[in-house]
Amino acid sequence: MAYFYDNLLIKIDYNIMEGYFKPFYEWAESNNLPANRIVASEFGCMRRNKGAEKYLEDVIDLLENQKYHWAFYSFREDGWDGYDYELGTGALPGDYWQAKERGENPKLPRKNNPLFEVIIQRFGKK
């Protein structure tokens, strides 16, 4: 996954994130904290970010490789669709926004898609 921050291209991948997580892994181990007592909660990414699917896969892989519990953040937030992974990675259709401007409350076009599959597949694991 890559994104711009202050006009700099920042790359994030499994290896880079593993480096970020490493001090925590080491701290937990040095303090004899069992993996089943650790939970990573409220992680996620804006669904329309390029590489969102891979980012979620990598974070979940990192946590599961350590046998940590995890919970992704705000699947269906009330005021913003950015973490509603069931909407996929594209923009909401224009007719949705036109209906909102008319004061209507249109149904969001939720459906199965590759981004949402990352979550579905992980819950199906045994």
pLDDT tens for each residue of 40-52: 988 888 999 888 9
Measured CA to CA, the distance from residue 62 to residue 56 in angstroms comes to: 10
User: What is the pLDDT confidence band of residue 5, given thresholds at 50, 70 and 90?
Assistant: low
pLDDT for the residue 126: 45
Domain extent, residue 120, equals 2-124
Give yes or no for residue 12 having a pLDDT over 90. Answer: no
State the pLDDT at residue 25: 94
Distance CA 105, CA 15 (A): 42
Regarding predicted confidence, which is higher, 77 or 105?
A: 105
**Mean pLDDT of all residues in 71-88:** 83
47 and 109 Cβ atoms separated by less than 8 Å: no
Please give the tally of structural domains in the chain. 1
**CA dihedral in degrees (98, 51, 40, 5; nearest 10)?**
-80
Structural Rg of the chain based on CA atoms: 17
Per-residue DSSP letter, 90: S
Compute the CA torsion angle 115, 117, 120, 124 (nearest 10 deg): -140
pLDDT of residue 76: 79
- Report the mean per-residue pLDDT for the chain: 88
The identity of residue 31, as a single letter, is N
- Read off the amino acid at residue 12: I
Give CA–CA dist 4/53, Å, rounded: 18
Whether the pLDDT of residue 84 is over 70: the answer is yes
Per the CB < 8 A criterion, the answer to whether 83 and 123 are in contact is no
